[in-house]
Amino acid sequence: MTTTTSVATPKVQIRHVGKVFSGVPAGTPAALQDINLSIKDNEFVTLVGASGCGKSTLLRILAGLEHHSSGEVLCSGRAITAPGADRAMVFQHYSLYPWLTVMENIKFSRLLKVGRENLSSSDVEAASGRADALLNLIGLAKVANAYPNQLSGGMQQRVAIARALMGRPQVLLMDEPFGALDAQTREVMHDLILHIHRIEKTTIVFVTHDVDEAIYLGQRVVLMAPRPGRVERILDVPLPARRSQDMKVGVPFRELRAEILASIRESSGMATDFDLLEKLSQQSEAF
């Protein structure tokens, strides 16, 4: 008898997940409530929503850095209870070690293992080969021996991505990784991360509050809402798998953006604020 379990099992399964932080005042809405989401192997999913809707909390639960209060979270069918080599995280702030070179930063986790485990010279060689390949992939081979403070923000974030990929994680978790970069650098980073996704075949869960970024990168956009933190809608992105910057001015992109923005305004209470502003401006015109 043949089994298709491994093919059918989603890479990430989030079932009825809730999170209530301890120590918060009674009556505080849950940080997460009844979150359900299945992510396929090699899928690129973006999470977008107003501030405080629980994007980072959900990502930290997937990373094993935070415990959920209810429900279950699985990676390749196994419960997530702690950080693991199958998942890697990239944060908004580059978090590189300033005293290590670019190459040393990328190899850092392997260097630790060499210290702890009895690795053979071929293991170490393989790690060096992997680090070289990643340096080429992120286009920074020329600065392998530079220190982080000699690099621009975009370059530092590329190094952080390469470092996260070093251990060949199955799932790459990214929390607003390009949030601190200027608009032009972000566009370059978008095409780079899509290229990395094609080459490395990782599953990517990417948090952002930038709707354009969520649509351009995601195969699906998970739209979250706050108080309590919840999944409002999950939208398929109607764009070809190979993205190009000119798609951002096309009708499908603009329609989806308008739909998501309206939903975020509504769920964050901003719509009410806008209504109020409109009424106030009408009143002041009347005087």
Return residues touching ligand ATP (CB under 6 A). 21, 24, 31, 51-57, 209, 229
Nearer Cβ to ligand ATP (154/226): 226
The listed partner (ligand ATP, Mg ion, none) that binds 24, CB under 5 to 8 Å by sort, is ligand ATP
The listed partner (Mg ion, ligand ATP, none) that binds 57, CB under 5 to 8 Å by sort, is ligand ATP
170 is a contact residue toward Mg ion (CB under 5 A): no
How far out from the chain centre does Cα 76 lie?
18
**DSSP bridge partners of 235:** 221
From the CB of 53, what's the least distance to ligand ATP, in Å?
Answer: 4
From the CB of 235, what's the least distance to ligand ATP, in Å?
Answer: 18
In a 3-state reduction of DSSP, which class is residue 253?
helix
From the CB of 206, what's the least distance to ligand ATP, in Å?
Answer: 13
The neighbour count for residue 176, using CB atoms within 10 Å, is 19
β-pairing, 203-208 vs 44-49, is: parallel
Nearer Cβ to ligand ATP (60/220): 60
Integer CA distances (angstroms), 28 to 23, 54, 228, 229, 282, in order: 10, 13, 9, 11, 35
Nearer Cβ to ligand ATP (13/57): 57
Integer CA distances (angstroms), 209 to 68, 175, 270, in order: 22, 10, 15
With residue 69 as reference, give the H or E element that holds it: none
From the CB of 159, what's the least distance to ligand ATP, in Å?
Answer: 23
50/63 Cα distance (integer angstroms): 21
272/165 Cα distance (integer angstroms): 43
208 is a contact residue toward Mg ion (CB under 5 A): no
Taking residues 26 to 65 in sequence order and writing x for each that binds Mg ion by CB under 5 A, - otherwise, the string is: ------------------------------x---------
Can you give the binding site for Mg ion, defined by CB under 5 A? Answer: 56
